[in-house]
Structure formats: C-alpha cells, structure tokens
C-alpha cells in the first residue's frame, strides 16, 4: 500500500468539502488504487472553525506546513495570488507535488511555478482550476493530444451563468440575481472577478494554452463582463432566437492565438445555449475530431472538491515517477495580438430620447461605417429613455467601435452608453 501524506492549505467551502470526500472515499481509494491518503496537517486563516470537525492538527502558519519533511503533497485551496504564490513556491522548492484550484495563480505565475516544479522533479495538478467538476484539463492534455485545435470556448463561470439564467427564467433584474447567487455561495461578497469576466479570462487562458500548446497569458485576454446587461436584453435576445451567455473564446488566427471573454448571443439550437444555472461547458473544434462539448457543475464545494480529489489520486499514483509533466513552456510571457478585421455581427441597444428621427440619425452613422441593419425592435414607453434594439449584418470590429464612439457622443438623442453584444461567430 502506497502512503501519501497530504498538507491542506485553506479550509473554506472547497476545503471543507474535500475533507468530507477524503473521509468518505478513503477506503475505496485504498481498494481501487492501492493508495493510502493521509491528511497530515491543515493551515487556514481561521483554525477555530475546524474545532471538533477533524483530528488533524490545524494552524494558521501556511509555510510551516509546506516545509514539513513528513508531507508529500500540498493541496492549495486558499485562493488569491499573494499568500498562495508564496505557499505554492515554498512547497515546490521543498520537493512537494502541488494540487491547486487557483486559476488566477497559474494564469499569472504559471511559467515561474512550473519551472520550479521541473527543477524539483515534482508536478502541479490543476484540474479543479477550470470549469469545476468537468475533467477538461487532462482531456485536453491527454485525450485530445493528437488533435490540432481550431477553437476552444465555453461557459467557464458558474456565477455569471446562474445570474443570466435567473434573469431569464425568473425575470429578475441583475442586482436581484446577483444577490441570490451570493446567498447560495456561488458569488463572493465582492463579485467583481466573476461578473466582470476576470475569472473566465484566467480560465480560458489556461485552456487555450493547453489546446494550442502555446502561451496564452491572462494579460493578452480581452475581457468584458455582464454587469451592463439588463432584463430587457435577456428577453430581447430570446425573441430574436438567441440566449445570452458569458463566453470565453480562443481561436487561432493569422495574427496569433486570439482570446477573449464577453457576453454573446448564442443561437438557441447551439448546445452552449442550453447550459443553465451554475453549470459550465467547454466546446471545442479540431481538424481531426471535429467538434465536441463537455458539461458539468462549475460551482459549489462538492463539485470542485471532486476535481481536487481526482487530481490527488492521479498525482499520488505518480509520486516518485521520473516522467514528470514539463508544462512550463505553456506559460511564458504573452503578448497581445491585434484582432484581425474579421466580420462580426452585433446586438445593439440604444437608450434614446422619444422623438421622431432618432432611428434615422443612428442609421446614418452606422451606414457611414458600412454597417447595415438586419432588424429593429422598439417597444412603446411612457418615459425616457426609450430602448431601440438593432441587430446588424456583418461588418468589421473596427467599424463597429468607430460607429459606437460617434453615436455615444450624440447626447442630444443618446442618454446612456450603448449596450453592444456580439452574436456567436461561426465556430
């Protein structure tokens, strides 16, 4: 029986869920894999919260755990990038394999940490860092290793997907849906990382690096969140045959690997459109295997902890192996590529005064920038501003940006910044 001694850093929602799974599955893991997982020490900011819940020694000294000679593996579930970086670096330098769910840490510091891991002859597992319970990391690294990717994209943040679902199904406004997500533990007290697309940006940069076998650093990702969306956008999209999703999208182009996060109108017959609530999904297209999609729970303690435990089992079985994963080449310093002038389509919501000729003025500006209108919606209103919704035909991104800058300066008719949402490109 192979014994693997574990140090756990962080005992929040995911950490305490992992404690439950370790207790529940310890004997099964011993029978099926011949591995005896022994939780040896825990470090957490609030040791008192675990009083009476575990027999394992608990402290608030993270580095005392990473430096212990009687620990083989460190599981980092603290989050953040400062203390977590110091802890993970210490663990790697002391020859310990690290399992982490910290997508921000790897997206920003992955190159350095993987270099240390390689020097120390240990590994880093991060299956839980992207898309919760979906086994996407090893799927990309191993299951689809022979494929040349054309695009990888997905719903990568359970909080925003939950909010968008409730705004549609319950007719809630954004603030109400966000509050409910916070009550259920899907969103933090400060939800900025989730709702502004930063979390999804970290995740798509990791997926893109694996899929394309090239560096895609977070600093190169164009990010836009969902905080500007209103219920009328959700309902208008449905009436047009679309559902709004926050997507992370990465694809190869003549300029390089282009990676972005933004709200997207997804056709209702596309599989991504039907991924609801806190679920996540990863859609990919390769030259050899064509397209596919994997979906599963993307938020919550137990789903994420299940991915952490999967990594613990996998890398525990590899402890002592000479064939370590050399992935630091996936995390060099990235650079931002200029987006080529591909043709795109947009949903545009203008907030205007209620008087004749407004649509004509807007149309003139769009026309000067070679943007033609496919459809227009305007509901009757007894107050201003009035919402005018336009779906365009395809034009270049540059022309769209120029036209919107011009329209938003027309304060005689435009009362709020225009809401612009891309339609899903042909994937």
**CA-angle at 282, arms to 273 and 269, nearest 5°:** 25
Q: Is 143 annotated as a binding residue?
A: no
Q: Tokens 């020694």, residue?
A: 57
Q: Is 11 annotated as a binding residue?
A: yes
Q: Is 110 annotated as a binding residue?
A: no
CA of residue 299 relative to chain centroid, distance: 11
Q: Indicate which residue of 203, 251, 260, 297 is catalytic.
A: 203
3-state secondary structure of 309: helix
251 among known catalytic residues: no
Bridge partners for 248 per DSSP: 154, 261
How many Cβ atoms sit within 10 Å of the Cβ of residue 340? 12
Q: Is 14 annotated as a binding residue?
A: yes
CA–CA gap between residue 273 and residue 426 (Å, rounded) = 14
Cα–Cα distances (Å) from 111 to 25, 209, 217, 335, in that order, read 33, 11, 10, 14
Q: Positive or negative, the Cα torsion across 76, 81, 87, 91?
A: positive
> Do the Cβ atoms of 381 and 389 come closer than 8 Å?
no
CA–CA gap between residue 239 and residue 241 (Å, rounded) = 6
Q: Is 103 annotated as a binding residue?
A: yes
Query: What are the tokens at 108?
Result: 């920003």
Q: Is 175 annotated as a binding residue?
A: no
CA–CA gap between residue 41 and residue 250 (Å, rounded) = 40
Query: What are the tokens at 204?
Result: 């798509």
> Do the Cβ atoms of 230 and 174 come closer than 8 Å?
yes
Q: Is 12 annotated as a binding residue?
A: yes
Phi/psi for 277 (5° steps) reads 55, -140
Instruction: Give the CA dihedral 54, 58, 62, 63, nearest 10 degrees.
Output: -120
> Do the Cβ atoms of 268 and 243 come closer than 8 Å?
yes
3-state secondary structure of 192: helix
Which active-site residues does the annotation give? 203
List residues forming the annotated binding site for L-homoserine: 188
List residues forming the annotated binding site for NADPH: 103
List residues forming the annotated binding site: 9-16, 103, 188
């Amino acid at each position: 029986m192979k014994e693997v001694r574990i140090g756990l850093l962080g005992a929040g929602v995911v950490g305490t869920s992992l404690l439950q799974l370790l207790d529940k599955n310890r004997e099964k893991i011993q029978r099926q894999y011949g591995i005896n997982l022994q939780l040896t020490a825990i470090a957490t900011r609030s040791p008192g919260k675990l009083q009476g819940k575990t027999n394992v020694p608990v402290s608030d000294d993270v580095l005392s755990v990473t430096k212990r000679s009687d620990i083989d593996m460190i599981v980092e579930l603290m989050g953040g990038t400062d203390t977590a970086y110091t802890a993970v670096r210490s663990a790697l330098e002391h020859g310990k394999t690290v399992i982490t769910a910290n997508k921000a840490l790897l997206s920003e510091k992955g190159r350095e940490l993987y270099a240390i891991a390689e020097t120390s002859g240990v590994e880093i597992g991060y299956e839980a860092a992207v898309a919760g319970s979906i086994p996407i990391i090893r799927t990309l690294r191993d299951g689809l290793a022979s494929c040349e990717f054309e695009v990888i994209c997905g719903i990568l943040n359970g909080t925003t997907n939950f909010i968008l679902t409730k705004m549609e199904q319950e007719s809630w406004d954004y603030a109400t849906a966000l509050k409910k997500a916070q009550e259920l533990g899907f969103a933090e007290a400060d939800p900025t990382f989730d709702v502004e697309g930063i979390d999804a940006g970290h995740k798509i940069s990791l997926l893109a690096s694996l899929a394309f076998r090239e560096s895609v650093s977070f600093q190169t990702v164009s990010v836009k969140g969902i905080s500007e969306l209103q219920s009328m956008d959700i309902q208008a999209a449905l009436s047009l045959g679309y559902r709004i999703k926050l997507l992370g999208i990465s694809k190869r182009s003549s300029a390089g690997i282009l990676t972005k996060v933004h709200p997207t109108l997804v056709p209702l017959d596309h599989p991504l459109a039907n991924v609801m609530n806190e679920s996540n999904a990863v859609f990919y297209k390769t030259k050899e295997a064509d397209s596919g999609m994997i979906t599963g729970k993307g938020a919550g303690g137990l789903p994420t902890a299940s991915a952490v435990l999967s990594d613990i089992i996998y890398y525990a079985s590899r402890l002592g192996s000479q064939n370590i994963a050399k992935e630091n080449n996936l995390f060099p310093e990235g650079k931002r590529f200029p987006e080529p002038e591909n043709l795109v389509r947009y949903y545009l919501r203008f907030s205007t005064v209620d008087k004749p000729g407004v649509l004509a003025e807007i149309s003139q500006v769009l026309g000067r920038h070679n943007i033609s209108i496919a459809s227009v919606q305007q509901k009757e209103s007894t107050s201003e501003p009035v919402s005018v919704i336009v779906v365009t035909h395809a034009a270049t991104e540059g022309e769209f940006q120029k036209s919107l800058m011009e329209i938003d300066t027309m304060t005689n008719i435009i009362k709020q910044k225009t809401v612009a949402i891309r339609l899903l490109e042909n994937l």
